[in-house]
Amino acid sequence: MLITDHGLPGMSGADLAVACRRRQPELGIVFSSGMIGIPQIDGHQLISDAVLLGKPYDEAGLAMALAQFRKK
């Protein structure tokens, strides 16, 4: 499981997620962001099933995001 923000220093969270998925295709990805939607970047198809967790979030919101991967 990778939980990342969109805005990271030096690399976007989406770029990080794509790089991680290339190494581990079954990796679950949660983007924590105040932005709406998963960014369209090169390699987007690798993260099209990522879950978006809107900020601010609480423990219940995080639990709901993580539960989506238990269903798969």
CA of 7: how far to CAs of 13, 25, 26, 60, in Å? 6, 22, 23, 23
Cis peptide before 9 (omega within 30 of 0): no
Name the pTM for this structure. 0.79
Select from 3.40.50.2300, 1.10.10.10, 1.20.1300.10, 3.40.50.720 the CATH code of 2-70: 3.40.50.2300
Please write the tens of the pLDDT for every residue from 15-72.
999 999 999 999 999 988 877 666 666 667 778 888 888 889 999 999 999 998 765 5
CA distances from 70 to 10, 16, 28, 39, 63 (A): 31, 22, 10, 24, 11
Q: What is the mean pLDDT of residues 1-22?
A: 89
How many distinct helices (H) and strands (E) make up the chain? 2, 3
d(CA 56, CA 69): 21
